[in-house]
Amino acid sequence: MEKKLHTLPPLPYAYDALEPYIDAETMKIHHDKHHAAYVNNLNAALESFASAQDKKNPTSLFEKSAEDLIRNLNDVPEEIRTMVRNNAGGHVNHSMFWEIMVPQGDKQPKGKLLEEIQKSFGSFEEFQNKFNDVALKRFGSGWVWLVKDKEGRLDIISTQNQDNPMAEGYLPIMGNDVWEHAYYLKYKNMRADYLKNWWNVVNWQEVNRRLNIKN
């Protein structure tokens, strides 16, 4: 079987499309350099392991999607597990991140998503406040997520580095990147301002679609 490398998905809009909330230079570096590096490092880790030892079936690790790799990290050889955790995580997280943003996003969700948010958090405003609060308290680098558990319940959680909620059995519905590389050029140390402005570019249609994915 042919080895299939992981690839960087194109940004679904122009670098400056999310201005003034996220600046073009941040988007360009974030996608073209940071996300690209996660993809390249993931491929390099898989290649190094395949060429070093798995002579009989060197392609087996390449048959798995990045999502499968992080859902079952214990199946990944120990030698490259940390590399895969960080870089497959970075790849999956950012692939979702570009899709759940959009220029001129609706200001709030509609339909089933809005109902579920109101049921779980009281109101859309309370949901936003809790999401921002959890994001603000993430010490160092990481993400804040709206997730769905196996029973279909919604919750807000935070992960460190590039860890993805899938590794803990959750389905990530939406997430915001609170690594400094996501906002520092424009917002400097003002993470709270970035978090507040970010709601202007949320793609609620895509978030609604993700809500309906089976966990």
Site residues, Mn ion (CB under 5 A):
177, 179
Q: Cβ of residue 110: shortest distance to Mn ion, in angstroms? A: 28
- Residue 105 pairs in a beta bridge with none
In the complex with Mn ion, the residue whose CB is nearer, 145 or 179, is: 179
Distance CA 85, CA 60 (A): 17
- Residue with the shortest CB distance to Mn ion: 177
Q: What are phi and psi of 70, to 5 degrees?
A: -80, -20
Q: Cβ of residue 145: shortest distance to Mn ion, in angstroms? A: 14
Distance CA 103, CA 168 (A): 31
Q: Cβ of residue 34: shortest distance to Mn ion, in angstroms? A: 5
In the complex with Mn ion, the residue whose CB is nearer, 29 or 167, is: 29
Q: Cβ of residue 126: shortest distance to Mn ion, in angstroms? A: 27
20 class by beta-carbon count within 10 Å (0-12 exposed, 13-18 middle, 19+ buried): exposed
Following DSSP, what letter does each residue of 44-59 receive, concatenated? HHHHHHHHHT--S-TT
In the complex with Mn ion, the residue whose CB is nearer, 6 or 50, is: 6
In the complex with Mn ion, the residue whose CB is nearer, 158 or 208, is: 158
